Structure 1
Amino acid sequence: MSKRRPVVAVVDDDPRLLESLEDLLESAGYIARGFSSAGSLVISGLSDVDVLITDIGMPGMDGFELRDLVKRARPNLPVFLITGRHELADQYRAKGISGFFRKPFDGQALLVAVGDALRNQETEG
């Protein structure tokens, strides 16, 4: 009985960061699906996504709006927010997320947080 590899969706409008996050997640055994905008993730759908990592500051729908949309559709989906803008990191708006990372962030710390969120999902589900 083989378990399927978890799918981690990454949304960021910075193509370099998107590619490096995809590489990091793939190297850790996850299936990484990158999206350059929140809208492209929404169009693609969330049904097979196990974890969402999204930038906050993006044109169009920002990371907070995406989190709110995702939480309505999939309330138990772990969501991690990343940002390069420290003023966006206020505690009130960061509620309803599994973790928060400021750029530049430690990739290993992100992998540990994703792994913990997936393990917590398994024990709750």
Structure 2
Amino acid sequence: MKLLIVEDNIDLLESMKKILSDEFEVDSATDGEEGLFLAFQNIYDAIILDVMLPGMDGFEILKKLRADRIMTPVLFVTAKDALEDRVKGLEIGGDDYLVKPFQAPELIARIRALLRRSGSLTIEHTIRYRGIELFGKEQEIKVDGTPVRLTIKQYELLEYLIQNHGKILTREQIYDRIWGFDSDTTVAIVEVYIHHLRKKLEAYGYHKDIQNVRGVGYILKEFKE
């Protein structure tokens, strides 16, 4: 799979390339014109696009791509306090944003999420836990054979719990994996989503399997009276 990174901060650019090159083929550009040229000349599975670039900013690049019907998923990279940039980027056709500074697991998670939604990245097998089945490609869930509707974040949370069932996950681990270092949320959001996820599973009796580990976090394992 092939990615394009357009970023003028050389140190950050090299860091992202190092993080992603084990899993993806990566092209890069350090200014807007070169980035746009590469995006037009090649087929990419996703583009990581800085907002502030010399020559042509990320917004202008995205507008030109969408005008030419190039619908490659775009992950904007924005400054921590640039709320207006994040909103504008999504409104003009961006698919997601990542706030600087960020860590490697957050970058990889965001890219994988984009690729899953676009259909470029598929999970080879269904993830199962007891009577719960998660179908990775479609991001669908069935509980005891019945389809259950979840939001994207609820799905990602359940997926993470199932992938680590039987293991204690701290609130910080869950937050970093699902929300990263987005300044608009705090680690308290984990408890809120755990509550909503339990409500979705309550009718089937699996809500009790998402167990609190006092003062630490949560563990997914079969609840026994």
CA RMSD of the aligned region, Å?
A: 2.0
Equivalence for 2:76: 81
Deviations 1:24-55 (CA, angstroms, capped at 9, x unpaired)? 1113x111111011211222334321100011
Shift of 1:67: 1.3
Equivalence for 2:36: 42
Shift of 1:91: 1.7
Q: How does 1:75-114 map onto structure 2 within 5 Å?
A: 75-84=70-79, 86-87=81-82, 88-95=84-91, 96-114=93-111
Equivalence for 2:27: 33
Shift of 1:84: 2.5
How many angstroms apart in 2 are the aligned matches of 1:90 and 1:121? 20
Comparing 104-113 with 58-67, which one deviates more in the overlay? 104-113
How many angstroms apart in 1 are the aligned matches of 2:79 and 2:3? 21
Q: Secondary structure at the match of 1:48?
A: coil
TM-score normalized by the length of structure 1:
0.81
Larger radius of gyration: 2
- The unaligned stretches of length 5 or more in structure 1 are 1-5
- The answer to whether structure 1 residue 115 and structure 2 residue 112 are counterparts is yes
Q: Secondary structure at the match of 2:102?
A: coil
TM-score normalized by the length of structure 2:
0.48
Equivalence for 1:21: 16
Q: Which amino acid aligns with 1:54?
A: L
Identity %: 25
Is the alpha carbon distance of 1:77 and 1:102 closer, same or farther for their aligned partners in structure 2, counting shifts above 3 Å? Answer: same
Shift of 1:94: 3.0
Equivalence for 2:130: none
How many angstroms apart in 1 are the aligned matches of 2:97 and 2:15? 18
How many angstroms apart in 2 are the aligned matches of 1:42 and 1:91? 22
Equivalence for 1:9: 4
How many angstroms apart in 2 are the aligned matches of 1:106 and 1:71? 29
Comparing 74-83 with 49-58, which one deviates more in the overlay? 74-83
